[in-house]
Structure 1
Amino acid sequence: MQNAEALAAQPVFVITLEAMADVPAREALLDRAMGPGRKRKSSEKLRRGRQPAEGLAFVARDVRGVVIGTVRLWNIRLGEDGAPALLLGPLAVDPALKGEGIGSALVRRAIIEAQRFGHRAILLVGDALYYGRFGFSAARTSGLSMPGPYEPARLLALEIAEGALDGAHGTLRAIGRRTSPSKFAHAA
């Protein structure tokens, strides 16, 4: 009986930093989970041509090491001269494994690591019912906008440091490390 209990207690997935070798699997997962229109989203305008924030790109792997989930955070600026922040996304889980807690674990890990690195706020475009459980809301985003079409009620933020979004206004801007076309051909 102890062996069965020990096996039941084993995690069915682990979260690790994303590696370059994960790019093809991550891209295939994003295509399966989000469909062909995923690269037309407003958030993509902030990610295109950029690398994720240093140390803030994660994958979930099953017990065989297969990538079954992904989340990345990106460096942004809150308006033209505003404070730096992070943009979360895309978050995706293998459609066959939805409801297993993988997405929630990825979001929690992203928040914890962002806080550990000293970031003060995270924004995203997403479902308030889902992301609200992590503290995200539209309460502090009314002065902010995305660089393309989006639903304002879906622009959500989490203040990691109290007051990080005080006075934030303007259109979100991409900042951070640029990709080299050959090295990060699939950095979306």
Structure 2
Amino acid sequence: MTELSLIIRSEQPIDSDAIERLHERAFGPGRFARTASRLREGAPHLLDLSFTALVGTLLVGSVRMTPIRAGEERALMLGPLTVEPAFESRGIGAALMRRSLDSARDKGHTLVLLVGDEPYYRRFGFKRIPLRHLELPGPVNPDRFLALELAEGALARAKGLVSPLPISG
């Protein structure tokens, strides 16, 4: 494997078009119908917790965090985590995950949820959410509904419906 000169940096507003094209290539047009995507439509993602990966000037990866409410608990919804298909399996997704989760922890966030492959996300500490503990506003395979506690007890406090948490200005 060739070493990449990878730069992970905070997402900038000027990155949005390149990230949208990346999502289109990676996930296709059906991405908008997914429950997690519909949930993220209710609130903008947080730029200070969202990161991009660059090789030179080429944007090759992105991860975003969106504020949500899990029952009465404030939380974050991670995703999408996207890597340019030609750059997959080179550690870019893992680097983006670590940076985003470390930043969320450093800023005092307590809980991160996502919909994804448990075997991949387990290495970052994500676990399946117990059945009927939290409910997304649409269908999702319960084996893919995952949580990471950044503070002990956060998941136990989070019960009920997951909904967007618009950023107040």
2:55 aligned partner: 62
1:96 aligned partner: 86
> Which amino acid in the other structure matches residue 125 of structure 1?
V
Give 4+ residue runs of structure 1 displaced > 2 Å after superposition.
139-142
Distance 2:129 2:139 in 1: 20
Distance 1:50 1:163 in 2: 25
Offset, 1:142:
4.3
Aligned residues of 2:10 and 2:47 also touching (Cα < 8 A): no
Distance 2:152 2:42 in 1: 31
Is 1:74 paired with 2:75?
no
2:114 aligned partner: 124
Aligned residues of 1:50 and 1:177 also touching (Cα < 8 A): yes
Computed over aligned residues only, the root mean square deviation of the Cα atoms, in angstroms, reads 1.6
Distance 1:167 1:51 in 2: 24
Report sequence identity in percent: 43
* TM-score, structure 1 normalization: 0.84
> Which amino acid in the other structure matches residue 128 of structure 2?
A
More strand by share: 2
> Where does structure 1 lack aligned partners over 5 or more consecutive residues?
1-7, 179-188
1:22 aligned partner: 15
Is 1:137 paired with 2:130?
no
In our comparison, the structure showing a higher alpha carbon Rg is 1
Offset, 1:149:
1.1
Distance 2:55 2:157 in 1: 42
> Where does structure 2 lack aligned partners over 5 or more consecutive residues?
none
Is 1:146 paired with 2:136?
yes
* TM-score, structure 2 normalization: 0.93
Distance 2:47 2:26 in 1: 25
Aligned residues of 1:147 and 1:172 also touching (Cα < 8 A): yes
